[in-house]
Amino acid sequence: MSGTVAEEAREILRSARALVVELGEEGVEWTADAREAAAVRSAGPARPAPGAQASVPPPTAPVAASAATAPRTPGRDAPRRTLESVREDLGECTRCRLHEGRQRIVFGDGNPAADLLFVGEGPGEQEDLQGLPFVGRAGELLTNMIEKGLGLRRSDVYICNIVKCRPPGNRTPLPDEVFACRPFLDGQIDAVAPRVIVALGKPATSLLLGRDVSITRVRGTWHDYRGIPVMPTFHPAFVLRQYTAENRRLVWEDLKAALARSREGAPQ
Ligand code: SF4
Those residues with Cβ within 8 angstroms of residue 137's Cβ, 6 or more apart along the chain or in another chain:
18, 19, 22, 237, 240
Highest CATH level, class, for 83-262: alpha beta
Q: 52 CB less than 6 Å from ligand 1? A: no
CA–CA separation, 60 and 66 (whole Å): 17
Domain parsing of the chain, residue ranges: 83-262
Tallying the residues shown for the chain, one arrives at 268
Whole-prediction pTM: 0.74
Question: Got the DSSP string for 232-255?
Answer: EE--HHHHHHT--HHHHHHHHHHH
Q: 163 CB less than 6 Å from ligand 1? A: yes
Strands (E), the chain: 109-110, 116-120, 158-161, 196-200, 223-225, 228-233
Most confident region among 2-6, 18-22, 37-41, 46-50 by mean pLDDT: 2-6
Measured CA to CA in angstroms, residue 156 lies from 45, 66, 238, 241 at distances of 30, 28, 24, 27
CA–CA separation, 219 and 215 (whole Å): 6
pLDDT above 70 as % of the chain: 69
What pLDDT, on the 0 to 100 scale, is given for residue 79? Answer: 62
pLDDT tens digits, residue range 135-188?
999 999 999 999 999 999 999 999 999 999 999 999 999 999 999 999 999 999
Q: 164 CB less than 6 Å from ligand 1? A: yes
Q: 86 CB less than 6 Å from ligand 1? A: no
Pairing of strands 158-161, 223-225: unpaired
> Ligand 1 centroid vs 170 CA: distance in angstroms?
14
What pLDDT, on the 0 to 100 scale, is given for residue 161? Answer: 98
CA–CA separation, 41 and 36 (whole Å): 9
pLDDT tens digits, residue range 174-186?
999 999 999 999 9
Sign of the Cα pseudo-torsion (30, 7, 200, 143, in order): positive
